[in-house]
Structure 1
Amino acid sequence: MQNNIMSGDFFQHLAIAFEKSSSVNILSPYLTMPAVEFLFKHLPVGVDVKLIVRARPQDILSGAVDINAINVLHESGVKCFFHRTLHGKFYQINENEGYIGSANFTSNGLCLNGYGNLELTHKVTLTSEDKLLIASVFDDSLFVTSQIIKKILEYSKNNKMNVIQSFPSWWGDIIPNVNYIPIKDGIYVGDLPWCNLLYENEDKDIAHDKDVFLYGQSFEKMRCEFLQSKVYHYFCAMINHREYKEMYFGELTESLQNGLKDDSIPYRKDIKGYVINLLSYFERLVPDIVCIDRPNYSQRVSLKNLRAIK
C-alpha cells in the first residue's frame, strides 16, 4: 500500500508530480528562489501555473517571501497572487491531485539541499468542493502586476527589517484585503485578539495571536500587523456607520457578536472577553489613532483622526 504521508522526501514526490502535470496551483505563505529553480527544473514547457504567497511587509523585508523570486515567476508567465492572511500550504497538480501539509515552497520547506525543516505532507484526492474552495482563495487574492512588483522592489531596497518604524502608508493600497467588505462579509472568532496585552495570557491564546498579530515581537511589527488586520478594518467600518463616530463597550460587543460568521457563535460573556482584548490592542498599539475614555461609567471608543477610516 502506498504511503500518503511524506516527510523529508516530499520534494521527490513533488518533482515527479510537476513532471507529469498539465496545471499546477501552489499556495504557500513563504517563497524562496531555490524553490522557483526547482519548479522550472521539473515543469514541462507550457504548463499553466498559479501561485499564492502571503504579502506582509515583514515577510517581504525578512526575505521569507523573496520579491525577486516573484519577479522571476511573473516574467516567466506564472500568475502570482498575494493573500495577506494565507497560512495553509497546498499543492494542486492537475484537477484532482493535491498535497496538503506544513511545507512552504522554500528550500527549507522542501529540504532541497538535503536538510531543512521537519515537515509532514499528505497526498489527497480532491473533491469538487475542495476545488471550489481553492478557487475561492484565488478569487480572494490580489493578482500581482509588474507595477506592484516594481514598487515593492523599490521599497525593499531602501528599508531593512530592523528599521521599520511604521506601517508603510501605501502598502494597504496595493495589497488590500481583496474583496473583503467588512460589514457585508463580517468577521470570525479567529480574526479577533485572543490575548490581552495588559496581562499574562495562556499558551494557546499566545500561539493564536503570534500567528495573527505577531504577538511578542517589537512594537513596530505588531502595530504594522494590527493595522492590516481584518478586525481593525472591521472596527473602522463599524465606527464609520455611527452618527458620532464612536461606540460604547456594549455597542461594540453587540456589533462584533452580530458580525460573527462562525457556525457556532460564542456566548455574549465570551464576546465581552474578546472586546476587552481588542481594547488592550487599541491602547497599546494605536493610541495615536483610537481614543478610549469612560464617560458615564462605560468605556467609549472613538477615532482621534477620522482619516484613519478607509
Structure 2
Amino acid sequence: MLLLETGAFRRELADALSSAEQEVIVLSAFVKLDALKWLIETSRTSNLKIVSRWQPADLVAGASDLECFYLCEEADIPFGISQNLHGKVYIVDSKIFIGSANLTSKGMSLSHYENDEFGTGFEYGQTEKIKVRDYLASVNWLDVKTVELMADFLRNFVGNTDAQSNEWPQEISEKLRSQPLGVWFHDLPMCNPNQLLAQTAVATAIEHDLDCFRSKKGATEDELLKGFKSSQICFWLEVQLQEYGELSFGKVTSLFHNQLLDDPMPYRKSIKEGVANLFDWASRCNSKFEVIRPQYSQVIRAV
C-alpha cells in the first residue's frame, strides 16, 4: 500500500476508472461540476453512484455545485446527499481509494491550482462492501422536485443572516428521508421470531439477524422488535407499502427479487424463505403492519 500525493492519486484513480467494468461509487463531501464531468468521461462503466454532503452553505460558498445533480440526472446516475459526510472514498469495482481529496479540480489536480492531498488505494473485501452498502442505504437520493426546492431556497439564502447555514428548511428536510436504491439478500432475516428468541436456528443465521437488528444475544422480544423496526428491510417494506398499498406474499417476493443488487442472484426459493421470515416479523409489529390471510396467500398492509 503506497501513499500517493495529489497527482499520483488522480492518475491511479483514472487508470482504475478507465478499466472499470462493474460499478463506480463516489463519496465526497464536496463535488464540483468540472471534476464530475472528468470522472464520468474517464469511467469505462456508466454504472455510477455519486454522494455529496450538500449543506446549504456548501452550495452558497461554491464548495459544491447544484448543477452536478442535473448532469447526473441526464446521465441516469443516482445522486444522493448525506449531510454529515466528511470522508472521501472512491470505489472502482473491487478497488477502493481513500484519502483527503474531494471530487473537485483542486482535489484531483485537474488544473494549475491544486491542493496538497494524500491518499492510497487497495483491494477491498466483503467487510468493506457491507459497510459501503449500509452507508448507501442511509443516503438521501435526490429527485428533480427536491433539488428545485433547494434551488429556490438558495436564491433567498444569500444575505440572510438568520438562516442556519448547515440546515435545510423543514419543507426540504422532510423530503430528505433515505430512499434505498435497491436491496440485498443479506437484508432479509434468516430466522423467524421464535427461532431467534429460542436460539434454535444455526449460529450463522442467529448472528446475521442480531447484526441486522443491531441487537445482542439474549435480547428480549421487545428489544428484537425494536431492532427490526429500525432495520433496512423494515424500511424497504414500508416504502413498498407506501407505493403499492396492500401487497400479497407473492408480490413482495417479486418486488424484492426485482430490486436485488446481488450478483450472482440468490435462488428464488431462498428469497421466499427470507420473505416468509419478514412476514413473521412484520406480523408482530401491530403498530406498523397488519398481516392477514384472506384465502391461500398472506397479505400485508400498513396500519
- The TM-score normalised by the length of structure 1 is 0.53
Alpha-carbon separation, structure 2, partners of 1:59 and 1:174: 19
Give the partner amino acid of 1:85.
N
Query: CA shift at 1:178, angstroms?
Result: 7.8
What residue number does 1:215 align with? none
What residue number does 1:102 align with? 100
- The TM-score normalised by the length of structure 2 is 0.54
Query: What per-residue deviation string (whole Å, max 9, x for no partner) do you get for residues 45-83 of structure 1?
Result: x52000111121211222222111122112211111111
Query: CA shift at 1:177, angstroms?
Result: 7.5
The structure 1 segments of at least 4 consecutive aligned residues displaced by more than 3 Å after TM superposition are 176-179
Alpha-carbon separation, structure 1, partners of 2:123 and 2:112: 28
Q: Secondary structure at the match of 1:158?
A: helix
Give the partner amino acid of 2:135.
V
Alpha-carbon separation, structure 1, partners of 2:70 and 2:170: 23
Which stretch of the first structure deviates more once superposed, 126-135 or 54-63?
54-63
What residue number does 1:170 align with? 171
Q: Secondary structure at the match of 1:107?
A: coil
What residue number does 2:69 align with? 70
Cα RMSD for the two superposed structures: 2.3
Give the partner amino acid of 1:171.
I
What residue number does 2:145 align with? 147
8 Å Cα contact 2:96/2:123 also seen in 1: yes
Any stretches of 5+ residues in structure 1 without a counterpart?
186-310
Alpha-carbon separation, structure 2, partners of 1:72 and 1:164: 31
Alpha-carbon separation, structure 1, partners of 2:176 and 2:156: 19
What residue number does 2:5 align with? 7
What residue number does 1:43 align with? 43
What residue number does 1:90 align with? 89
Alpha-carbon separation, structure 2, partners of 1:165 and 1:89: 31
8 Å Cα contact 2:98/2:120 also seen in 1: yes
Query: What per-residue deviation string (whole Å, max 9, x for no partner) do you get for residues 130-189 of structure 1?
Result: 0110111100111111111111122223331x434224332322335889xxxx98xxxx
Query: What per-residue deviation string (whole Å, max 9, x for no partner) do you get for residues 22-63 of structure 1?
Result: 21000001000111121132123x520001111212112222
What residue number does 1:112 align with? 110
Any stretches of 5+ residues in structure 2 without a counterpart?
181-212, 215-303
Alpha-carbon separation, structure 1, partners of 2:102 and 2:62: 13
What residue number does 2:205 align with? none
1:34 aligns with 2:31: no
Q: Secondary structure at the match of 1:27?
A: strand
Query: What per-residue deviation string (whole Å, max 9, x for no partner) do you get for residues 192-212 of structure 1?
Result: xxxxxxxxxxxxxxxxxxxxx
8 Å Cα contact 2:4/2:118 also seen in 1: yes
Give the partner amino acid of 1:28.
S
What residue number does 1:127 align with? 125
Alpha-carbon separation, structure 2, partners of 1:177 and 1:113: 35
8 Å Cα contact 1:55/1:65 also seen in 2: yes
Quickly say closer, same or farther: Cα 1:157–1:148, change in 2 above 3 A.
same
Q: Secondary structure at the match of 1:163?
A: coil
8 Å Cα contact 2:26/2:49 also seen in 1: yes
8 Å Cα contact 1:84/1:175 also seen in 2: no
Give percent identity, aligned residues only: 21
Query: What per-residue deviation string (whole Å, max 9, x for no partner) do you get for residues 261-304 of structure 1?
Result: xxxxxxxxxxxxxxxxxxxxxxxxxxxxxxxxxxxxxxxxxxxx
For residues 1-310 of structure 1, what are the structure 2 equivalents within 5 Å?
A: 4-9=2-7, 10-22=9-21, 23-44=23-44, 46-94=45-93, 96-160=94-158, 162-167=159-164, 168-176=169-177
Query: CA shift at 1:114, angstroms?
Result: 3.0
Which stretch of the first structure deviates more once superposed, 72-81 or 3-12?
3-12
Alpha-carbon separation, structure 2, partners of 1:146 and 1:177: 15
8 Å Cα contact 1:84/1:177 also seen in 2: no
8 Å Cα contact 1:30/1:104 also seen in 2: yes
8 Å Cα contact 2:6/2:107 also seen in 1: no
